[in-house]
Amino acid sequence: MKLNGNLLIGAQEVGATAGSMKSLNPATNVEIEPSFAFGGSAEVDRAARLADDAFDSYNNTSLADRAAFLERIADGLDAITPELAQRASLETALPVAQLEAEAAKSATQFRQFATVVRQGRFRQATIDPAQPERQPRPRMDHRSQKIAVGPVAIFGASNFPISYSVAGGDTASALAAGCPVIVKAHNAHPGASELMGRVIQQAVRDSGLHEGVFSLVRGGGNEIGEALVDHPLIKGVTFTGSEGGGMALFRRAQQRPDPIPVFTEMTSVNPTFVLPGALAARGAEIGHGFIERMLVTVGQACLKPAILLAIDGPGYIDLRRAMTAPVEAMQARTMLTPGICAAYRKNVERQRNAGAERIAAGGEPQGAWDGQAVLFEVDGARMLDDPSLSEEVFGPAALLVRVKDVEQLIAIARQFRGQLSATIQLDRVDHPLAANLLPVLERRTGRIVINAFAHPQEVSYASIHGGPFPATSDSRFTSVGMSSIERFLRPVCYQGFPDELLPEALQHDNPRGIWRLTDGQLSLAAIAHDMEIPSPVCECDSI
């Protein structure tokens, strides 16, 4: 597929109106052809108006047609996977094999959401039939379902150029909900973004949908992002990145005449708590596994396990030794962008200045943007004295915390801010302590893992990738898993409607055969009994 660097505004290609850029190969520090167009507020306005024009027809597509559209996107991603992985590797220095797997998982997510759409449960159809004889006042017929909120803006992430980018889970779940999408491509991988954008654009065309269902924009600086958040036709925003960037968008959205939700996924250290029984029984195994997962993607994963806490005692030295060895053996590797690498080096120095002792380091950087693996250690008292030690260091660095006793462990746990995940390594003897620790963690994270590590995460109906601030801006929602569709839905009640005016999901005969709640009881029409509905589950490293 030929890259020409244009913006994709609906079915049209638009050249540069506000400058251009070339992508950078961070491994060689050399720019890559071609030039990619920048747009501005005029292009955002054009895309937003198209999206608004598309909304009514797209939101009212049949479930079967919408599911088929999502599957066309998945098929298109499969068809370009080798080319997409090669281009993304040039722009990120990530291994081609890893990116091929990431592309396959992105395609899988679109197929998973196609299943969700066909099931129709996301509508949350609810029926309270009329009770004309009820005293002292009759009850009218009430029916409700969830519909899409409207056009949404999605900001592509830097660290996963496929699965958190143009054709990532945010786009898949928003399109599944019935929302037209405008993606702001990340400038770290513009070529990969264009390839994915063209796949979605073609799927829109092949599905006979309004061209405004999808657009891809790009810009330099903050203008284009601010224009997206400010535009009155945009009704929701997703963002994955730094706390500073996410909160700037969040605050801007709340200052609009009509505030809109901004669903951010920002910062997390995903702490691991090693309880005494597990430490004594398998400290070395836990330490090695922790570092192995920490180093994935050069430590540039939002679910990277970054802080390990263990009570000093039997097994601690074995754990410590098992953590230092793989760090020392790790060669420095190219990070995603110069900006990310510079921030990583700055934050490593911040850890050192905060009193953390460097106990292991990998090979020295050879390339301009190489990240050196580092392991720090600190005692629990110092951790309590300086909360900055619990802040994220995005890159191949980890912190080992030598805890004095159970009371100190609980105190440190209480000090953590909101997290995407937390892990407990335990044995049977540790269950009483774990029972005391769990309520503390439940208040601070959206996912608790036992005897595994935060990364990777399954993508399924029960998946939660979210947590209290600053992990996200709204802990009620997840950005991964089938329930991530709920970010893009709102409820509507239909009172006293004749059957022929009701949406299909609420009509008397339930023509689509979806699960509904009727007078508080779940029901399913006979038409659905013979439907084969697979269970969408996939393990995704790309989170």
302 part of the active site: yes
| 510 Rama class: left (phi>0) / alpha (psi -120 to 50) / beta | left
Contact 420, 447 (CB under 8 A): yes
Q: How does 317-337 read in b/e, with b if 16+ C-beta sit within 10 Å?
A: ebbbebbbbbbeebebbbbbb
Q: Collect all residues with Cβ–Cβ distance below 8 Å to 258 and sequence separation of at least 6.
A: 232
DSSP 425-455: E--GGGHHHHHHHHHHHHTTBS-EEESS-SS
- At residue 233, what is the residue type? L
Q: Is 71 a catalytic residue?
A: no
Could you tell me the two tokens for 482? 């089938």
Identity of residue 347: N
Rounded distance between C-alpha atoms, residue 168 and residue 165, angstroms: 5
Question: Could you tell me whether strands 12-14 and 307-311 are parallel, antiparallel, or unpaired per DSSP bridges?
Answer: unpaired
Residues 344 and 354: their CA atoms lie apart, in Å, by 15
Contacts of 124 (CB under 8 A, 6+ apart): 144, 145, 146, 491, 517
The active-site residue out of 71, 100, 265, 391 is: 265
Task: Select which of 43, 71, 194, 302 is catalytic.
Answer: 302
Q: How open is the CA angle 203-531-74, to the nearest 5 degrees?
A: 20
For 439, other C-beta atoms within 10 Å of its C-beta total: 8
Active site residues: 265, 302
